[in-house]
Amino acid sequence: MSNDTLSGNGGAVSATGNTLKQFTSAGRGYWSDVPAADWNDWRWQLKHRITSLEQLQRLMPTLTPEELAGAQLAKTKLALAITPYFFNLIDPADEGCPIRQQVIPRIEETHTAAWEMSDPCGEDSHSPVPGLVHRYPDRVLFLVTDRCAAYCRYCTRSRLVSNAAGYDFHPEFDKQIAYIAAHPEIRDVLLSGGDPLLLSDDKLEHLLSKLRAIPHIEFLRIGTRIPIFLPQRITPELCAMLKKFHPLFLSIHSNHPRELTTEVREALGRLADAGIPLGNQAVLLKHVNDDTAVMKAHLQKLLMCRVRPYYIYQCDLIAGSAHLRASVRKGLEIMENLRGHTTGYAVPTYVIDAPGGGGKVPVSPEYVLCRNAGRVLIRNYEGKIFEYPEANDGTPLFAPPKEIAAAQLT
Ligand code: SF4
C-alpha cells in the first residue's frame, strides 16, 4: 500500500493528507426525517443506536459474510452498538472502511491466539476494591460504568464493557472513594470505564465532588470516547459543570481523521473553552491508521481541534483482536516519519502496555547511537550524525579500580 493512494483507510488521499484533514459533517444519512431537536439530543442518539443484526442488515445490506457471522455472535462477547451519528461515517460501499473496521463485529473476534488474554493489562490482579485499579504508586484508575456509547471491537476491557460476556461489573463508588481517601499517596484519579460521560450530569458532579473533597487528590482525569461517538453529549451544561473541578484533564480516543467531523470539532471546542486540557489516545490498528500519511493527517487534525496527541497505543493482546493488530515494526516506522517531520506537539508517545500488568513502556526509534562518559553520539530525523560532549556532572571521567582506591585510603 503506498502513501499516495490508500485503500481501506479512508479512500484516495494526497501524500500530504490534505483530503483527510478537511472537516465535514457526518450528516443525517438514514435519519433525514428526524427532527433536528431529536438528532441533536444525546439521549435520542443513545436510544436509537444500532444494536441488532437485523437493524444492521437493514441499514447496511453490504455486510460481508464475516461481518454477518460476527454480528450474530457479538452478544456473547462484546455487544454491538453504534450511534446513528457515528454510523453515518461508515462507507457501506467500502469493506475496508476504517470506521467500519472499528465498530462492526467480525467472525475473527472469536479466534483467540495462544498469547491473547481477556485482561491483557492485568487490571483485575491490581484491583483492591471492585472497579478500582491501583497499579502505579501515585494514581488510580476508577471504573465508573461498563457501558459505552458504541463498542470498539478491539477494546482492552471487552471482558467487562457491555456485559455481553457476563462479567457482571458492579462498581461501588463508596468503597472506591473510601480506598482513595485512605491512601494519601494517591494524587491522581482517572475516571474511565466504560465511558464516564454516559453518567448524567448530576451523577458525575456528585462523584467529582466527592473526589475533589479528598485533600490529597491534586488532579482529576476523564478518559472518554463520547466526543467521537456522541458529540451531542458535550452540552454547554456538561462543560459548565466540569469546569468546577479543575485541574481536570480529558483524554479522548480517536483513531482516524474521518472521525474528526465538524460536530466533533465543535464539541471539543466547547470543552477547550471550559479550560479543560484535551489529549488524545489513539490505538494503532491494521487497515485503519497504520499508515504514516493517515496517522500524520489525524494528529495534525487533532491539533486543529485543540487536542494534543498524547499516546499511540500498540493494540493490547486482547482475545480476538489479531485481525486488527498492526505490527510494532509499523508503529516504529510511523514514529520515525513523525518526529522532526511535523510539529512536535503533534507527536505523541508510542507505548506498549506490557502484557500481564507491567504498565506502559515507551517505544521509540533509536536516536542515541552510542554514549560513554565523555560524549553522546546522536542522529537527527534526516539521519545525520552529531556528537554532543557529555556535561561534567561531578562524576570522575576516569575512576581508579576499587582495589587501588581502597589501598590508597589505608
Ligand atoms: S469506548 Fe473505550 S471502553 Fe468503550 S468500547 Fe471503546 S475502547 Fe472500550
* Amino acid in position 402: K
| Cβ neighbours, 10 Å, residue 173 | 16
Q: What is the DSSP string of 25-36?
A: ----GGGTTS-H
- Find out whether the beta carbon of 141 lies less than 6 Å from any atom of ligand 1: no
Local confidence pLDDT in tens for the 410 residues of the chain? 333 333 445 444 454 568 999 999 999 999 999 999 999 999 999 999 999 999 999 999 999 999 999 999 988 889 999 999 999 999 999 999 999 999 999 999 999 988 998 888 888 888 999 999 999 999 999 999 999 999 999 999 988 888 887 888 888 999 999 999 999 999 999 999 899 999 999 999 999 999 999 999 999 999 999 999 999 999 999 999 999 999 999 999 999 999 999 999 999 999 999 999 999 999 999 999 999 999 999 999 999 999 999 999 999 999 999 999 999 999 999 999 999 999 999 999 999 999 988 899 999 999 999 999 899 999 999 999 999 999 877 766 566 677 766 666 55
- Find out whether the beta carbon of 152 lies less than 6 Å from any atom of ligand 1: yes
Asked whether the beta carbons of 34 and 272 are under 8 A apart, the reply is: no
Residue 299 CA to ligand 1 centre (angstroms): 20
| CA 308 – CA 249 distance, rounded (Å) | 11
Residue 231 CA to ligand 1 centre (angstroms): 15
Given ligand 1 and candidates 51, 147, 152, which is best to mutate, with the most ligand atoms within 8 Å of its CB? 152
Closest Cα to atom 1, ligand 1: which residue? 225
Which of 227, 241, 237 shows the shortest CA–CA distance to 198?
A: 227
pLDDT of residue 17: 61
Strand 349-354 to 359-362 pairing: antiparallel
Per residue in 186-242, pLDDT (tens digit) is 999 999 989 999 999 999 999 999 999 999 999 999 999 999 999 999 999 999 999
Which of 255, 341, 263 shows the shortest CA–CA distance to 305?
A: 263
pLDDT of residue 11: 44
- Find out whether the beta carbon of 346 lies less than 6 Å from any atom of ligand 1: no
Q: What angle, 0 to 180 degrees and rounded to 10, lies between the N-to-C axes of helices 201-212 and 173-181?
A: 20
Per residue in 125-147, pLDDT (tens digit) is 889 999 999 999 999 999 999 99
- Find out whether the beta carbon of 155 lies less than 6 Å from any atom of ligand 1: yes
H-only helix segments in 83-160:
84-87, 98-103
Which of 150, 73, 83 shows the shortest CA–CA distance to 105?
A: 73
Closest Cα to atom 3, ligand 1: which residue? 194
| Cβ neighbours, 10 Å, residue 301 | 25
| CA 327 – CA 285 distance, rounded (Å) | 9
Q: Which residues contact 286 (CB under 8 A, 6 or more apart)?
A: 323, 324, 325, 326
| CA 143 – CA 140 distance, rounded (Å) | 10
Q: How many residues does the chain have?
A: 410
Closest Cα to atom 6, ligand 1: which residue? 152
pLDDT of residue 5: 34
Asked whether the beta carbons of 145 and 198 are under 8 A apart, the reply is: yes
Read off the C-alpha cell for 286: 491494521
The pTM assigned to this predicted structure is: 0.91
Asked whether the beta carbons of 315 and 282 are under 8 A apart, the reply is: no
- Which residues in 307-341 are b (16+ Cβ under 10 Å) and which e? bebbbbbbbbbbbbbbbbbbeeebbbebbbbbeee
| Site of grid cell 454547554 | 236
State the average pLDDT for the chain: 92
| CA 102 – CA 125 distance, rounded (Å) | 28
Residue 376 CA to ligand 1 centre (angstroms): 42
| CA 246 – CA 115 distance, rounded (Å) | 41
Asked whether the beta carbons of 365 and 334 are under 8 A apart, the reply is: no
For residue 194, is the peptide bond before it cis, meaning its omega torsion is within 30 degrees of 0? Answer: yes
| CA 4 – CA 15 distance, rounded (Å) | 5
CA 139-144-145 angle, 5° bins: 145
| CA 316 – CA 329 distance, rounded (Å) | 15
Radius of gyration in angstroms for the set of CA atoms belonging to the chain, rounded to a whole number: 23
Strand 308-314 to 278-284 pairing: parallel
Closest Cα to atom 8, ligand 1: which residue? 155
Residue 86 CA to ligand 1 centre (angstroms): 14
State the DSSP code for 128.
S
Active-site residue list:
135-136, 139, 148, 152, 155, 157, 316, 353, 360
- Find out whether the beta carbon of 79 lies less than 6 Å from any atom of ligand 1: no
pLDDT of residue 164: 81
- Find out whether the beta carbon of 316 lies less than 6 Å from any atom of ligand 1: no
| CA 336 – CA 254 distance, rounded (Å) | 21
Helix (H) or strand (E) holding 360: strand 359-362
Q: What is the DSSP string of 170-196?
A: ---HHHHHHHHHT-TT--EEEEESS-G
pLDDT of residue 15: 46
